[in-house]
Chains A and B, each alone.
Chain A
Amino acid sequence: MSTVVSRSAFSGVFKAAVILAWAIFICFGFARALDAISWSGLYQSNFSFVPGHWVRSQLTRASSSPGDTCVLIGASVVREGFDSSQLSQSVPGVRFVNLATTGGFSPMDVLDVQSRILAQAGDRYRCIIVGMNNFYLRHFDRQSYELVTTDYLSQMPAAALAIPEIWSGGSDKRSLINRMMVPFGKNSVIAQRWWRYSLYELRSILSRDPVDIARYETDPTEFKPAFQFQYIDKPSILEQNIPRAREEFAQHDLEAADSYKDSGTKLVMKRTIERLAKLTDHVIVVTMPLSSVYRTVEDVSKPAFEQARASIDDAIFVKCKIADAEEGALFYDTSHVNENGREKLSKSLAVIVSNAMVGRAPIGQSDLCATE
């Protein structure tokens, strides 16, 4: 029996394919249109510290008066390093909002993603402070861009997902495509969380007996409000973390000069700063203080940082440093400051920012920080 058929007989297949293609296109368009609607309400109730959600909720605050707001972006060293309330008090007329989250294995990617999210918001800020370290210029780690697990995806503009580095991740690829196709897919995590919390609240209202919130949580901290400072009230673990830090240096080759030869990260840094420069007149790049265990890492990565800096015209570079003698009092662990360190850093940065705001030259030097 012949299974060969005429070309016209395939018209059914073509028609089905066209119908399906249209359906996918409409579905995708509908999903994009829904994402364009403001989700500010969802992100005002910020449950637990999910990076993407934190950025969005802080951005919502910043967007209320962006012209008077300085935003801070970066990884956990910035999150822990600067108290936006203290900065706001120290710099009259300026409000500070800290969008910094976590760094993962490729903190430069985090800065890139955060800058794209800021650019998508379309606001113009009083200033943007970028906290980083020299070793961010290490070559890309192929496990970077954990857009789905950190829920940065829900905040990224669709066009940004065309950049090649995003697709270097493994399982994220399929998740990205699938969530872009489904209405509410990008914001499904926060929407689902908000919905479960609403069900819990409704049940609490209707029930005579107290309702255990744990029954509605996927983990015990899920519905706890997000709090910026993750290490507050915790005793210092600086000494205990030194061996672990050395292990990580070895694991990720942070002390090897070859790790910083990749031009890709330098280009990302340049483009990130250029992108931010379009959103404000004052981009301030702050090299964050690290404990002495990072000495070799800082020295080895400095040439790469200097090379990147040389290609950037649109920013003020500031270096903050904590003396070895003070690190026991000011560090929580090998890279994050404690409350005392945060207070000193914030005051120091406030001086720099104040001078930059009023165009005072030279911008100057404060306790821990100086312009480079």
Chain B
Amino acid sequence: MAIFATTAFVWVVAAMYILIHVPLKIPRSVWYGVLNLGALVILLGWRAAALALAFAVFYWVALGVLQRFVSQDREVLTQRLAIALYASVAVIFICHKLVLERANDFVAWLPFHLLSGVSNSPPFLSGFKILQLVAFSYVCLRLVDAVRAVSAGARVLSPIGLLGYLVPFFMTPSGPVNEYDEHVAMDKSPLPAPTASHFVDSVFLIVTGYFLKFACAQSYGIFVRGLDGPWPVATLWDSTVFLIYVLIEFTGYSMIALGVGRLLHVPTPVNFNHPYMATSFADFWTRWHMSLGSFVRRTMYFPIRMSLSRAVKPKRGDKLKIHAINTVALLVPFAFVGVWHRFTWPFVLWGLAVGVVVAIETILRDEFFGKRKSPLPAWVIRPLVSLYSVFLVAFTLQVALADFAK
């Protein structure tokens, strides 16, 4: 998150706001990609930017081949290549999660010093900043979405445009997970003319985000644990306290990213929709980290549910099979979400726990509460449900909190 705390970031955004309006007869995604590359050079250094570009070029070639298979209706080859690409992303993701957390051991036997340019300091530090970022998890998700979209017939962006999609400078700290299809669609519409109201709206989002993240969240964090102390993790109250901190901090960050995206007319999803106003535990997860939820829905939940429905072929009224399919379709993405946060067993369990609760709630809603009128008025029910949702989140978080707070 340090990138947002630098004045260089602000000046880069300001410069890009002017430059993005330069009327070149090239696709918007390309021009934005060029500017984004410049931003990465300034903010992360040329080595990190070069590595990111090399990464994008590699996958641009692979996606290009995939697109050719798709256009030639070569289904088997399309499937195999898509699976290979997914597997490569998984390997990179695992490397990022496991190996880089033990980077000193890893670089001892790899020639990273050739890329770092600094001979007497830990090699990975200067050359592999891009991999050090938490956001590399998001790069993996974007790559998966790109493979999915191209397999379904979407156009492949140019190499520089793909870099702009995979590693957007203003989403490097912590996402959100922007959609490949939306990014490609950027080229279909002309860049709107700048207006004062649009500028003010975007800047308002950014400033509010900075206030939430650097004033509110930091004050809250300092109040609870001092400048750099550990988060208390012993009790349910502790996990609730921590959850509130994450909400404020992540909301603030997401608003900054959203504001910058809007300012530069880069498709950027909204990430939070008042999760504390959730109408159920399941509804909570459609309001919290919405871009990740949307990603797992389109890449895991719906495909798994469809595949299982085709395989099992439940009859109408066969509630047991329908609920079983739905439960499996829920458990897999939630388990993935757990692993995606931390590659540890506590987080796998946390994901599964959340999936189980959502599944049970869905069953109860469909079987018992769905069409019944509530005995209590909405103004009573609503806050109770919200409290219950937040409580459940904090409760499930207890499963993994000791690991997450490290």
Contacts and interface: CB of A to CB of B under 8 A. Distances in A.
Pair from one complex: yes
Given A199-B223, A203-B223, A12 B21 contact: yes
A13 interface: yes
B7 A10 contact: no
A1 B25 contact: yes
13 contacts: A9-B23, A13-B18, A16-B17, A16-B21, A19-B194, A20-B17, A23-B203, A178-B7, A202-B223, A203-B223, A215-B226, A215-B229, A216-B226
Contacts of B17: 16, 20
A181 B199 CA distance: 18
Nearest to A10: B23
A20 B14 contact: yes
B227 A13 contact: no
B227 A216 contact: yes
A11 B192 CA distance: 12
A16 B195 CA distance: 8
Given A5-B23, A20-B18, 15 more contacts: A3-B24, A10-B23, A13-B19, A13-B21, A15-B194, A16-B17, A16-B21, A16-B194, A17-B18, A19-B194, A19-B199, A174-B7, A178-B7, A216-B227, A218-B227
A226 to B, nearest CB: 21
B196 A19 contact: yes
A274 interface: no
Interface centre among B191, B194, B222, B227 (most CB of A within 10 A): B194
A16 B227 contact: no
Nearest to A216: B226
Given A12-B21, A199-B219, A217 B194 contact: no
Given A3-B26, A16-B17, A215 B194 contact: no
Interface string B1-21: 000000100000010011111
Interface string A167-208: 000000010001000000000000000011001001100000
B25 A2 contact: yes
Given A195-B219, A215-B227, A217-B227, A23 B21 contact: no
Interface size class of B (residues with CB under 8 A): 20 to 34
Contact of B25 (A3, A16, A23, A202): A3
B193 to A, nearest CB: 5
A12 B191 contact: yes
Contacts of A13: 18-19, 21-23
The 9 A-B residue pairs with the shortest CB-CB distance, nearest first, are: A215-B226, A12-B21, A9-B23, A178-B7, A16-B194, A5-B23, A199-B223, A16-B21, A13-B21
B319 interface: no
Interface in A251-294: none
B80 interface: no
Contacts of B14: 20, 24
B225 interface: yes
Given A3-B24, A20-B14, A195-B219, A15 B7 contact: no
Contacts of B194: 12, 15-16, 19
Nearest to B26: A3
Interface of B: 7, 14, 17-26, 191, 193-194, 196, 199, 203, 219, 222-223, 225-227, 229
Contact of A16 (B18, B225, B226): B18
B193 A15 contact: yes
B31 to A, nearest CB: 10
A313 to B, nearest CB: 45
Nearest to B228: A215
A215 B225 CA distance: 7
Interface residues of A, number: 29
Given A20-B17, A23-B199, A178-B7, A12 B219 contact: no
Contacts of B19: 13
Contacts of A195: 219
A199 B222 contact: yes
A12 B229 contact: no
A20 B14 CA distance: 7
A15 B18 CA distance: 8
Nearest to B15: A20
Contacts of A5: 23-25
A56 B343 CA distance: 52
A2 B18 CA distance: 21
Contacts of B20: 16
Nearest to A12: B21
Contacts of A16: 17-18, 20-21, 194
Nearest to B193: A12
Contacts of A2: 25
A251 to B, nearest CB: 28
Contacts of A174: 7
Nearest to A179: B7
A202 B23 CA distance: 54
Contacts of A218: 227
A15 B194 CA distance: 7
A51 to B, nearest CB: 24
Contacts of B227: 196, 215-218
A12 B23 contact: yes
A5 B190 CA distance: 15
Contacts of B193: 11-12, 15
Contacts of A17: 18
Contacts of B196: 19
Contacts of B24: 3, 5
Nearest to A17: B18
A195 B219 CA distance: 8
A10 B24 CA distance: 10
Contacts of A215: 225-227, 229
A298 to B, nearest CB: 45
A10 B22 contact: yes
Contacts of A178: 7
A17 to B, nearest CB: 5
Contacts of A9: 23
B235 to A, nearest CB: 15
A17 B17 CA distance: 8
Contacts of A15: 21, 193-194
Contacts of A1: 25-26
Contacts of A203: 223
Nearest to A174: B7
Contacts of A3: 24-26
Contact of B222 (A10, A196, A212, A214): A196
A196 B227 CA distance: 9
A371 to B, nearest CB: 51
B104 to A, nearest CB: 28
